[in-house]
């Protein structure tokens, strides 16, 4: 997902987008995130292949921000869509000034805050997820006996 446009041959200038203090030069969307994007991210039925292009455009237009300082790996797109992402340094790559470049790996799209109010407070969301899993496990354990 790089935009490498230069005017002369043989000149390569790495393109990056700033996200917080990171210089994002590459974007990777996992298969799980792509399936979640199709199911929860876009309600207009866009295929998951368009997720990378759409998210790169959002990064370039500065429509992606951190969810909260307490959750460093959670990001919000367009003040609505919550995603879990990890930022990893790209080895042996830097910009013209020697600053390291990073890769944004999107792990999952959690959903839209407008559709699921629990996403506004992620601690409550995860606590509710864990209790529902625990309840399911207890119920299936009872059935086996």
CATH number at residue 71: 3.30.2310
Residue 123 domain-assigned (yes or no): no
Residue 25 domain-assigned (yes or no): yes
Residue 59 domain-assigned (yes or no): yes
Residue 88 domain-assigned (yes or no): yes
Tell me the per-residue pLDDT of 23-50, one tens digit each, with 9 for 90 and over. 999 999 999 888 888 876 565 555 656 7
- Tell me if residue 18 falls in helix, strand or coil: strand
Q: Which helix (H) or strand (E) holds 36?
A: helix 31-36
- 44: containing domain: 17-113
Tell me the per-residue pLDDT of 43-69, one tens digit each, with 9 for 90 and over. 555 565 678 888 999 999 999 988 877
Residue 4 domain-assigned (yes or no): no
Residue 126 domain-assigned (yes or no): no
Question: Please, what is the end-to-end C-alpha distance for the chain in angstroms?
Answer: 52
Structurally, the chain folds into a number of domains equal to: 1
12 Cβ neighbours under 8 A, 6+ residues apart: 4, 6
Residue 22 domain-assigned (yes or no): yes
Closest CA to 60 of 3, 6, 113: 3
Residue 40 domain-assigned (yes or no): yes
Q: Is the pTM of this model over 0.85?
A: no
Length of the chain in terms of residues written:
145
């Amino acid at each position: 997902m790089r935009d490498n446009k230069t005017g002369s041959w043989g000149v390569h200038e790495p393109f990056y987008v700033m996200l917080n203090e990171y210089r994002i030069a590459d974007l990777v969307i996992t298969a799980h995130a792509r399936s979640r994007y199709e199911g929860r991210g876009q309600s207009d039925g866009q295929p998951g292949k368009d997720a990378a292009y759409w998210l790169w455009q959002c990064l370039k237009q500065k429509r992606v921000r951190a969810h909260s300082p307490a959750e460093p790996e959670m990001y919000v797109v367009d003040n609505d869509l919550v995603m879990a992402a990890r930022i990893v340094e790209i080895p042996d790559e830097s910009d013209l000034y020697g600053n390291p470049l990073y890769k944004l790996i999107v792990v999952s799209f959690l959903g839209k805050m407008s559709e699921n109010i629990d996403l506004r407070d992620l601690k409550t969301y995860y606590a509710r997820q864990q209790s529902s899993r625990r309840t399911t496990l207890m119920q299936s354990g009872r059935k086996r006996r």
